Chain A
Amino acid sequence: MQQKKRFNTTFWLLIVPVLLWLVVLIVLPHLDLLISSFQVKNSAGENVFSLNNYLAFFNNDIYWGTFLKTAGYAVFVTLLAFVISFPVAFYLTKVISKKYAGLLVLLLLIPLWVGELVTVYGWMILLGDHGVINHFLLFLGMIDKPINMLYTDLSMVIGLLYMSMLFMVVPIMTTLESLDDAYIEAASDLGAGKWTIFTKIIIPYSMPGIISGAIIVFMLVIGDFLAPDILGGKHSLWFTEQIYSKFLQTFNWGEGAAFGFLLLFLSSAIVWLALKLSGQKLEKVGS
């Protein structure tokens, strides 16, 4: 009895900070935003309940068009991140020795250390009309006038990829590390060639890592602001930029909040759909 009671006290001591943290820092601010997303001012200047903030999104093709475009790019960047990260993760876990792998992972972390703003400016120096890459190509005589790379969708995708790739590499590495080489040998023993081993054993085995990496990358990209804003060209309207301008330029907090929640729900819906289509379960991905 005594034992049980003591456990309960400890339990509450441990759970209360967590609950407080959740409620004060996460639930309450969102609750306030949620309320304002359902409010508009009537002619007398009073706040009244309305769905207009949400309807504004669906009634204006610029808004949902921008969302679709943003989501489309996020999916594209996620796929690209997978295609690039998988061989990297495979190389780091299965090909080279542990000693060097640690060092290389540290190198991969560098973009995170210096921060997104610095890496974005770094890419500006590389990709500009008078930047390092164009200078080099001109010097080699491969081109006779600079290629327009900066301020295009290309440079935006590079920036997004660069800041999010690590979040794909690490979860895949974690699953690949637990992949027993005997699985590969067993498949080969049962008559599977390299391609079959890759598609039937290695990819399905690393699926939980791939999916959790994909969710992180997708969410990071769809919610990013800097890369589209600075590296993106004149067409690169990102949904987060619209939310930003709702809050800070037109002071329409109601619409801003509604758009924020739409971003949350629509991107969650996309993740849910992807999980369904790939036959993965969230709890498995999380472990």
Chain B
Amino acid sequence: MDTILEIKKLSKHFADFTSVDGIDFSVEEGGFFSILGPSGCGKTTLLRMISGFEEESEGEILIRGKSMKGVPPEQRPVNIVFQSLALFPMMNVKENVAFGLKRKKLQKNVIDHKVAQMLGRVGLSGFERKKVTELSGGQRQRVAIARSLVMEPSILLLDEPLGALDRKLREHMKIELKLLQKELGTTFIYITHDQSEALVMSDKIAVMNKGRFEQVDTPRELYKNPKTAFVASFVGESNRFEIIHKEGDVLTTKGQWKLTKSGLDFTPVVLYIRPEAFILSPTEERKDISVFEVTIKTVLFDGANTKLSTFAQGSDDEILISLPQNAHFEDLCEGDTIQVGVHQDDLKCYEEE
């Protein structure tokens, strides 16, 4: 696939801090690329530089190999769906969607055709004359996307557009957006602080922290093999343990829990284990699985997300362990002691925080 967006050593300095700090990356044509990071990590600044609302301090942005230096927003082949959506309240649905086409000075019948087609695609046929203030949150969302997509941009930038929706609608829109992107084949660059949104929709995710990219990878890789402690903690859920001692293959946590991890060529300071990495009552014995006994402190029931809060024998560290909701483990309750195992590969060790 071709590279549609290439970012080289891009930085943005403000008077008192650096928002984006020398980022390099590229996005392939037709992909769904997410930038995931906590608020204040610089992701919005990055997006605004791509769309042209913010001028870069250093570095270069290339779209289809063409430098965007000095190109004003209205002339860039990108369109943006704003966090607030920014639908023009004094216009109806059709006028909103047609706004950009009119600026291109297209003929009226061409505009009408394109608007009708796009509204059909986002499932809003027949809503042309509605005021945008009369629409539901999800419908407004779709108008905003239609208004940008009708411009046939090379890249569609989305700035946390699902933030304002309620949970249920957000779950629904996640899937809808993904399907729409697949169908249209337009490149999406999606900004979010919600890891679940990013994981569900994206082909590739860049995890951003303090103006830099920590890791750029597929969702699966990102989840399975976080390259840094930040990624491990930010993406998905994890138990975190500080390592105070290493002797041979045995690691000792601050709470005096001992674990075995072979093949480490450095001394880790921190260790992450996902709750679902634990195997309850392991039946077969393998040497790459460490087995130990834990005492259940409490059961945190949350449907499919139910967890056990436990302590390993002789340690103060709290360990969260996923509890599958099947008949097999139904009787587990407070104070029980059970055996759990964890595969060596699921111990994620990092040299620094």
- Assess the A186–B82 pair: CB atoms within 8 A: yes
Pairwise interchain contact B90-A192, C-beta atoms closer than 8 A: no
A204 within 8 A of B: yes
Q: Which of B76-121 contact A (CB under 8 A)?
A: 79-80, 82-84, 86, 88-91, 99-100, 103-104
> Is A183 in contact with chain B by the CB < 8 A criterion?
yes
Given the interface contacts A190-B151, A191-B151, does A180 sit within 8 Å of B86 by beta carbon?
A: yes
Give the chain A neighbours of B148 by CB distance below 8 A. Answer: 189-190
Cβ of B336 under 8 Å from chain A: no
CA–CA, A192 to B53, complex, Å?
Answer: 14
| Contact in complex: A189, B73 (CB < 8 Å) | yes
Residue of B nearest to A187 (CB): B99
Q: A188-B73, A191-B104, A193-B74 are in contact. Are A183 and B151 (CB under 8 A)?
A: no
- Tell me the complex Cα distance, A88–B79, Å: 32
- The answer on a CB contact under 8 Å between A185 and B84 is no
* Shortest distance between the CB of A80 and any CB in chain B (Å): 25
Q: CB-CB < 8 A to A105: which residues of B?
A: none
**A275 → chain B closest CB, angstroms:** 16
The answer on a CB contact under 8 Å between A189 and B51 is: yes
Residues of A within 8 A of B91 (CB): 204
Rounded to whole Å, the gap between the CB of A276 and the closest CB of chain B is 17
A180-215 contacts to B (CB < 8 Å):
180, 182-183, 185-193, 196, 200-201, 204-205, 207
Total A residues in contact with B, Cβ cutoff 8 Å = 18
B88–A192 contact, CB under 8 A? no
Q: How far is the CB of A199 from chain B (nearest CB, A)?
A: 12
B154 to A: closest C-beta gap in Å:
13
Taking A185-B82, A190-B151 as contacts, is the C-beta distance between A205 and B89 under 8 angstroms?
Answer: yes
Known: A187-B99, A190-B151. A182 touches B74 (CB 8 A): no
User: Would B74 and A183 count as touching, CB distance under 8 A?
Assistant: no
Across the two chains, which residue of chain A brings its CB closest to B48?
A: A185
What separation, in Å, do the CA atoms of A187 and B99 have in the docked complex? 8
What is the count of residue pairs linking A and B with beta-carbon distances less than 8 angstroms? 58
Residues on B with C-beta less than 8 A from A187 are 88, 99
User: Please, which residues of chain A bring their CB within 8 A of the CB of B86?
Assistant: 180, 182-183, 185-186
For A200, A205, A207, the residue with the greatest tally of chain B CB atoms inside 10 Å of its CB is: A200
CA distance A212 to B86 in the complex (A): 25
Q: Are B88's CB and A201's CB within 8 A? A: yes
| B103 pairs with A189, CB closer than 8 A | no
Instruction: Kindly state the separation between the CA atoms of A188 and B79 in the bound complex, as whole angstroms.
Output: 10
Candidate in B51, B72, B99, B147 with the most chain A CB atoms within 10 angstroms: B99
Which residue, of A188, A189, A193, has the highest number of chain B Cβ atoms within 10 A? A189
On whether the beta carbons of A196 and B103 are closer than 8 Å, the reply is yes
Whole-angstrom distance between the Cβ of A38 and the nearest chain B Cβ: 44
Across the interface, A190 reaches (CB within 8 A) one of B53, B72, B79, B83, namely B79
Query: Which residues 146-161 of B sit at the A interface, judged by CB distance below 8 A?
Result: 147-148, 151
- B89: chain A residues at CB < 8 Å are 205
Would A207 and B90 count as touching, CB distance under 8 A?
yes
| Residues in B neighbouring A183, C-beta threshold 8 A | 86, 88
Chain B residues, Cβ within 8 Å of A185: 53, 73, 80, 82, 86
- In the bound complex, what is the Cα–Cα distance between A54 and B281 (angstroms)? 101
- Pull 27 A–B residue pairs with CB atoms less than 8 Å apart, ordered by A: A180-B84, A180-B86, A182-B86, A183-B88, A185-B53, A185-B73, A186-B80, A186-B82, A186-B88, A187-B99, A188-B53, A188-B72, A188-B74, A189-B53, A189-B73, A189-B79, A190-B74, A190-B79, A190-B99, A190-B103, A191-B74, A191-B75, A191-B103, A191-B151, A192-B99, A196-B103, A204-B90
User: Taking beta carbons and an 8 Å cutoff, which residues of A are in contact with B?
Assistant: 180, 182-183, 185-193, 196, 200-201, 204-205, 207
